[in-house]
Amino acid sequence: MLPAAALLAVAACTSCRHKKHNSGDEIPAIEVAHPLTDSVVLRKTYPGYLTANREVELVARVDGYLLSHPYKAGDRVRKGETLFTIEDRNYRDAVDRAEASLQTARASLDYNTERYEAMKRALSSDAVSEMEVAQARSAMEQARADVENASAALRTARTELSYCTVRAPFDGRISSGNYDTGAYLSGSSQPVTLAKIFDDATMVINFSIDDASYLSLLRENAAKLGVDLRDIPLEFSDSLPGQYNCDLSYMSPEIDKSTGTLRMQGLTDNPDGDLRSGMYTEIHLPYAIEPHALLILDAAIGSDQLGKYVYTVDETDKITYTPVKTGEVLDDTLRIITSGLSPDDRYVTRALMKVRDGMKVNPSLPSGK
């Protein structure tokens, strides 16, 4: 058995051999890249919510039992399609009575008109007095007024009969009904809301910007900058298929004094009906162009208690911890660097956990870079 001193000596030699072996390990290869320099549109994000382009209450304006509503909540309906049918017997009877009254009034007008003309001819031969002619004219005028009143009553009766059938005023999506088939509706004195219809083929994005941002928009005029206030990106908290953009459609003529904000609206197409009224969204509104923005991969940026940082590789191929200040993300992969890097710097693009400050590496630039 070796003495303890000898064991320590052997361990020490073994440790020396390991150290020599480690010092001979290959220097790790690390992928690096130069920051990109490009002209980018700068955007500011604002919260907003969606509403349908049009929203109308479907109402009953007559009294009667609800006979049918042939649809389900959420169904798409076409303009002119019948949505509700209300019992119409009383209103059909009213139309029949109004038509009969109009026929009677017209017959009376015909009779009194012929009588008046006959009286005028008889007056020339002194067969009747002027008083009788005046009376005949008065009867004719009253008969004409009766025709006008009967015509108005018929129009009213036909209008009320038409209210017994509630049709879609435009293409849209229908809400759930407020009444079941068989319910009695009293809509003649005050309209009764049956359901709502939403024109959601186009959705309205409602949001507000602060007055300082509005002044910035004016100062950095879109025409001067070439910033297009169309195809403005939208972002939703819910995962939705496809990308949605909106066109700026409305800007309030005044700033709200209580909030210091300006109300704005945009429009976006909703071809698949995935967007719903009340949904929350974020609007990435352009406000300026940065002609020489510095861009790096967003995944290459780390974060610690001191803030944002990247690992760069100096001229001796050693890793350097480099604090940076960042701007917005572009295309989900690139982020603007506002300070901390220059176009000639080499930054580590991946495997941030495998490097550390001062570490010697073998940097590898992408081909052609």
| pLDDT, average across residues 259-279 | 90
Q: How far apart are CA 79 and CA 198, in angstroms?
A: 12
Residue 212 CA: distances (Å) to CA of 33, 46, 53, 309: 37, 13, 29, 30
Where along the chain do the CATH 2.40.30.170 domains lie?
43-52+200-290
Q: Report the pLDDT value the prediction gives residue 21, as an integer from 0 to 100.
A: 39
| pLDDT, average across residues 95-102 | 97
- pLDDT band for position 145 (50/70/90)? very high
Give the whole-number percent of the chain exceeding pLDDT 70: 88
For the stretch 1-28, pLDDT in tens is 334 343 233 333 333 433 443 444 688 8
User: Taking all residues of the chain, what is their mean pLDDT, rounded to a whole number?
Assistant: 86
Question: Is pLDDT at 103 greater than 90 in this prediction?
Answer: yes
| pLDDT, average across residues 70-98 | 94
Q: Report the pLDDT value the prediction gives residue 215, as an integer from 0 to 100.
A: 63
Question: Is pLDDT at 282 greater than 70 in this prediction?
Answer: yes
Which amino acid, residue 364?
S
Structure tokens at 167: 């049709």
Centroid of chain to Cα 197: 16
Greater confidence (225 vs 325) lies with 325
Q: Report the pLDDT value the prediction gives residue 206, as an integer from 0 to 100.
A: 96
Phi, psi of 272 (to 5 degrees): -100, 0
Question: Is pLDDT at 228 greater than 90 in this prediction?
Answer: no
Q: Report the pLDDT value the prediction gives residue 223, as an integer from 0 to 100.
A: 53
Where along the chain do the CATH 2.40.420.20 domains lie?
27-39+292-364
Q: Report the pLDDT value the prediction gives residue 158, as an integer from 0 to 100.
A: 97
Structure tokens at 70: 């042939």
Question: Is pLDDT at 35 greater than 50 in this prediction?
Answer: yes
Closest CA relative to residue 326, chosen from 317, 334, 335: 335
CATH 3.20.20.120 fits 88-163, yes or no: no
180 touches 47 (CB < 8 A): no
Backbone CA torsion sign across 286, 287, 289, 293: negative
Question: Is pLDDT at 265 greater than 50 in this prediction?
Answer: yes
Q: Report the pLDDT value the prediction gives residue 184, as an integer from 0 to 100.
A: 95
Q: How far apart are CA 200 and CA 55, in angstroms?
A: 9
| pLDDT, average across residues 344-368 | 87
Burial of 5 (0-12, 13-18, 19+ CB in 10 A): exposed
Question: Is pLDDT at 114 greater than 90 in this prediction?
Answer: yes
Question: Is pLDDT at 152 greater than 70 in this prediction?
Answer: yes
Question: Is pLDDT at 344 greater than 70 in this prediction?
Answer: yes
Q: Pick 27-39+292-364's CATH classification: 3.40.1390.10, 3.20.20.100, 2.40.420.20, 2.60.15.10.
A: 2.40.420.20
Question: Is pLDDT at 196 greater than 70 in this prediction?
Answer: yes
Q: How far apart are CA 179 and CA 194, in angstroms?
A: 6
Q: Report the pLDDT value the prediction gives residue 239, as an integer from 0 to 100.
A: 76
CATH 2.40.30.170 fits 43-52+200-290, yes or no: yes
- pLDDT band for position 241 (50/70/90)? confident
195 touches 77 (CB < 8 A): no
| pLDDT, average across residues 76-104 | 96
Give the whole-number percent of the chain exceeding pLDDT 90: 57
Question: Is pLDDT at 262 greater than 90 in this prediction?
Answer: no
Q: Report the pLDDT value the prediction gives residue 214, as an integer from 0 to 100.
A: 66
Residues 6+ apart with CB under 8 A from 358: 318, 319, 320
Q: Report the pLDDT value the prediction gives residue 216, as an integer from 0 to 100.
A: 64
- pLDDT band for position 365 (50/70/90)? confident
Q: Report the pLDDT value the prediction gives residue 221, as an integer from 0 to 100.
A: 53
Where along the chain do the CATH 1.10.287.470 domains lie?
88-163
Question: Is pLDDT at 312 greater than 50 in this prediction?
Answer: yes
pTM: 0.63
Q: Report the pLDDT value the prediction gives residue 260, as an integer from 0 to 100.
A: 86
Greater confidence (86 vs 25) lies with 86
335 touches 354 (CB < 8 A): no
Q: What is the 3-state secondary structure (H, E, C) of the chain?
A: CCCHHHHHHHHHHHHHHHHHHHHCCCCCEEEEECCEEEEEEEEEEEEEEEEEEEEEEEEECCEEEEEECCCCCCCEECCCCEEEEECCHHHHHHHHHHHHHHHHHHHHHHHHHHHHHHHHHHHCCCCCCHHHHHHHHHHHHHHHHHHHHHHHHHHHHHHHHHCCEEECCCCEEECCCCCCCCCEEECCCCCEEEEEEEEEEEEEEEEEEEHHHHHHHHHCCHHHHCCCCCCEEEEECCCCCCCCEEEEEEECCCCECCCCEEEEEEEEECCCCCCCCCCEEEEEEEEEEEEEEEEEEHHHCEEECCEEEEEEECCCCEEEEEECEEEEEECCCEEEEEECCCCCCCEECCCHHHCCCCCECEEECCCCC
